[in-house]
Amino acid sequence: MPSIALIFPGQGSQKVGMGKDLVDAFPVARTIFETANQVLGRDIMSLCFDGPQEALTLTSNAQPAIFVVSAALLEVLRSHGVTPSYVAGHSLGEITAYYAAGVVDFETALKIIEARGNGMAAAVPAGQSGMAAIMGMELAEIETVLAPFKDRPVVAANLNCPGQIVISGEKIALDEACGLLKLAGAKVIPLPVSGAFHSPMMQPGARSLAEFIKPLEFKAAQIPIVLNRTAQPETRADELKANLPLQVVSPVRWIESIRHLMDTVETVVEVGPGKVLTGLVRKTAPELNVIAINDAGTATEWLGTALAQHN
């Protein structure tokens, strides 16, 4: 099988119905969902399958739901002998990458996701911070406009692909910065999120997550994880543990992460609901082979093709 990297999506990829055909087609996927219900103490499986959308979109539900669907797809691929050379995940998806690389087990990953989400939600009072996507402007230009807002703070948070950067920060300052970016020629899209994620405003969330994970066991990664914060591969258990709280307040350096993978693998496979990351990869590295595995059909089709080529 050609050298591959598996990448895992973050919040925003959720949709009602996700995972249902997986559970119907693959017993290993059903096991993942049933285990998640037990760990969480609520019926995340029914929420994924039947909604309602409003409930599924809540951060406290969306994050574990996306992780569970991604993990179920991962286990389907693993059961057919798929072994990646690298893994990475966008924001929340980085914890899925930790699970994929054997750093934490499934139950621990779910509990970390809950603690991380709760800490980030409690970091800033509702309505006092936010995020916006800035389209059609390069990072250097954006950072020039944001320079006067650094201490308020407003920062570049998600470096998604060339021409798509998400900024994050205190609400009044964010609105002012967005106005200046529009005047400079950018397209500005306010995002429907509840906080200034991946910004210094998440420091209380980072501290609470550091406390939560302190007693947990982290193992060395069996597969190198290209981290959001550094855009470099990491396998050491102590570094991976230290990274998680830092990731909450640091930019997601996705452009650099994909360019690193472009130099090391032949194919990138997005594993999880939706295909947001597939689009970002194509805009960042159009020469890289990238596909989305987001349901039973795409998994079956790709496995058949990949295994046939390998044999």
- Which residue numbers are catalytic? 91, 198
Task: Enter the tokens of residue 100.
Answer: 């994929």
Q: What is the DSSP letter of 222?
A: S
CA distance 21 to 311: 27
In the three-class reduction of DSSP (H, G, I as helix; E, B as strand; rest coil), residue 113 is classed as helix
Give the DSSP per-residue string, 122-185: HSS-TTSEEEEEEES--HHHHHHHHGGGTTTTEEEEEEEETTEEEEEEEHHHHHHHHHHHHHTT
- Chain-centre distance for alpha carbon 18: 16
Give dist(CA 262, CA 281) in Å, integer.
Answer: 9
Amino acid 43 reads D
Instruction: Return the DSSP state at 252.
Output: B
For residue 52, whether the previous peptide bond is cis, meaning omega lies within 30 degrees of 0, is: yes
